[in-house]
Amino acid sequence: MEIINRRKRMMSVARKLRREENRTIGFVPTMGALHEGHLSLIHEARALCDVVVVSVFVNPTQFGPSEDFNAYPRDLTRDSGLLAEYNVDYVFAPTVEEIYPPGFSTYVTVEGLTDKLEGSSRPGHFRGVTTVVAILLNVVRPNFAFFGQKDAQQSIVIKRMVADLGFNTEIVVLPIVREESGLALSSRNAYLDDAERQAATVLIRSLTRARAAYNEGEHTASRLAEIVRSSIAKEPLARIDYVSINDAETLDEIERVDDRPAVLSLAVFIGKTRLIDNVILGGTEKQVGANA
Ligand code: PAF
């Protein structure tokens, strides 16, 4: 496994793999602090592609001024050990200056889709995500790039960007990986103390209650959202940021969940830690490519 810090080196390695060796490249972008969720993406990349590249880069432009950029867990030695165990071929771990050199002034914005949900709670977040992902896709030029369904809106936004800007990369979205308790894996779970970790299971418990109601015939979006809200309200450590039901492709808010897949998503503060989670209702798993 080679760890690469420079864009130029990463570009020339990837070019050689593609052109001279005719090998398919699978790419998993991460911000490090790797967990089983990331490892499931790497596992799929390994199965589908000849060469696996993983980036580890805590991207400053996707954090708001009062968010956790400085506190975000960073441990490249630990991450590299895990990546070597997973037979990753290349780790791209650039510095901030390597991605955003002095004078950097070009940003990628996907309009519309980024106004709601995470975009409305975290202004500027998606501009940072799409900008860095565009840079990374340009550097690595992978055949496939792998993302997790936990960041449902991120996957939808990136698919839109890739289609609109004509990137020659297929975006693969894989199911949420959960702890035994049902808590969705996230690097931010590291911020939770024992009581908060227990309280955080209210996210999946509330989503599961709504899914059960949906399966029993409740298709009105506002009632399903209310089931989630009232269930979370019982947990004293939890404070809701949003609960929303949106079309899984356009992210338009919907009144009823019918044939088209819908994403029931939420963002909830457990203490000071903001967690997100979602389930897909309606449609079929195939229609969205991944289910929770
Ligand atoms: O999902 C993440 O970890 C990040 O948003 C990503 C895609 C690596 C971009 O920084």
156 pLDDT band, cuts 50/70/90, is very high
Where a domain ends, among 126, 143, 174? 174
Confidence of residue 73 (pLDDT cuts 50, 70, 90): very high
How many whole angstroms separate alpha carbon 153 and alpha carbon 158? 9
Flag whether 181 is in a domain. no
Last residue of a domain, one of 153, 174, 195: 174
Q: Is the same domain home to 221 and 271?
A: yes
What's residue 284's pLDDT?
59
Question: Average pLDDT over the chain, rounded to whole?
Answer: 96
CA of 84 to the centre of ligand 1 (A): 20
Give the containing element (helix H, strand E) for 241: strand 238-247
Q: What's the CATH number where 279 sits?
A: 3.30.1300.10
Is position 238 within any domain? yes
45-63 average pLDDT score:
98
Asked whether residue 292 is domain-assigned, the answer is no
Q: Taking the model in full, what pTM does it have?
A: 0.95
Query: Quick one: pLDDT at residue 274?
Result: 97
Ligand 1 atom with the smallest distance to the CA of 133 is: 9
> What CATH number is attached to the domain comprising 81?
3.40.50.620
Domain boundary among 115, 139, 174: 174
Mean pLDDT (whole number) for 57-83: 97
- The answer to whether residue 182 sits within a structural domain is no
pLDDT at residue 289, as a whole number: 42
Confidence of residue 287 (pLDDT cuts 50, 70, 90): very low
Number of domains in the chain: 2
Instruction: Tell me which of 31, 62, 91, 146 to substitute to probe ligand 1's pocket, judged by most ligand atoms within 8 Å of the beta carbon.
Output: 31
Both 55 and 145 in one domain: the answer is yes
What residues are paired with 240 via a beta bridge? 268
Is 180 part of any domain?
A: no
> What would the pLDDT profile of 226-238 be if each residue is shown by its tens digit?
999 999 999 999 9
- For residue 43, give its domain range: 2-174
CA–centroid distance, 126 to ligand 1, in Å, is 10
238-247 β-sheet, strand order? 238-247, 262-270, 273-281
Two tokens at 36? 């089983």
Residue 282 banded pLDDT, cuts 50, 70, 90: confident
Q: Which of the following is catalytic: 38, 43, 125, 219?
A: 38
| pLDDT tens-place string over residues 164-205 | 999 999 999 999 999 999 999 999 999 999 999 999 999 999
